[in-house]
Amino acid sequence: MIFGMFRRSGNERVIERLHGDIVAAVRQPALYLEYGVDDTFEGRFELLALFATLVVRRLAQLPAPAPDLSQDLTDRIFSELDAAMRELGVGDLAVPKRIKKFAEAFLGRRKAYDAALSASSQAQLADAIARNVYGLDPAGSDVRAVRLARYAVAAEAALAEASLDTLLSGSAPFPKSDTIE
């Protein structure tokens, strides 16, 4: 996956837009002000992992070239994380180690979120969110985690409506986070 950052994709515009849509979703102020996600590099990473999982899941359900887009999108996410860490002043020798840790965390979160979403278990998703986003022992009764799980389910439903052509020519349809109670 990390070596994929160095290959060029013919899907650059699509990947740039999808990545931009995910980042825009992550930057919704309500997620920090109302949902209680920490507005830190780590908090934003947690939302990035959740929202990227939703887009990658949708791409996995679609025909070619969706699988390539999925991998290119993941590569782009890590390329941008690398650049962000360097801008924050993380030393050149430390960046690869931190990227490796973020990649392991990202894959673990994707697996947990995918399992919960595949099982259609909002409680399981809320537990995974409580553990990863809020740093709590799995406690699906945490109102913040439950609300973020409801948002993720709503986002997955919106993405399920999007065809491959829509994702290639339009935008990833994330709902407004302040509309979910």
Helix residue ranges, H only, the chain:
12-26, 29-33, 41-60, 66-87, 95-118, 122-132, 143-160, 164-169
Residue 176 within any structural domain of the chain: no
Comparing 4-13, 34-43, 107-116, 141-150, the range with the smallest average pLDDT is 4-13
Residue 181 within any structural domain of the chain: no
Residue 178 within any structural domain of the chain: no
Contact call for residues 36 and 47 (beta carbons, < 8 A): no
CA angle 55, 44, 62 (to 5 degrees): 5
Comparing 47-51, 53-57, 171-175, the range with the smallest average pLDDT is 171-175
**Sign for the pseudo-dihedral over CA of 164, 52, 78, 13:** positive
- The average confidence (pLDDT) of the chain is 89
Total of domains in the chain = 1
Comparing 4-18, 82-96, 140-154, the range with the smallest average pLDDT is 4-18
132: amino acid identity, one letter: N
Residue 19 within any structural domain of the chain: yes
Q: Residue 77: pLDDT band by 50, 70, 90 thresholds? A: very high
Domain limits at 94? Answer: 10-166
Q: What is the DSSP letter of 175?
A: P
Question: pLDDT value at position 84?
Answer: 85
Inform me whether the pLDDT recorded for 24 exceeds 60.
yes
Contact call for residues 36 and 133 (beta carbons, < 8 A): no
Note the maximum CA span of the chain. 44
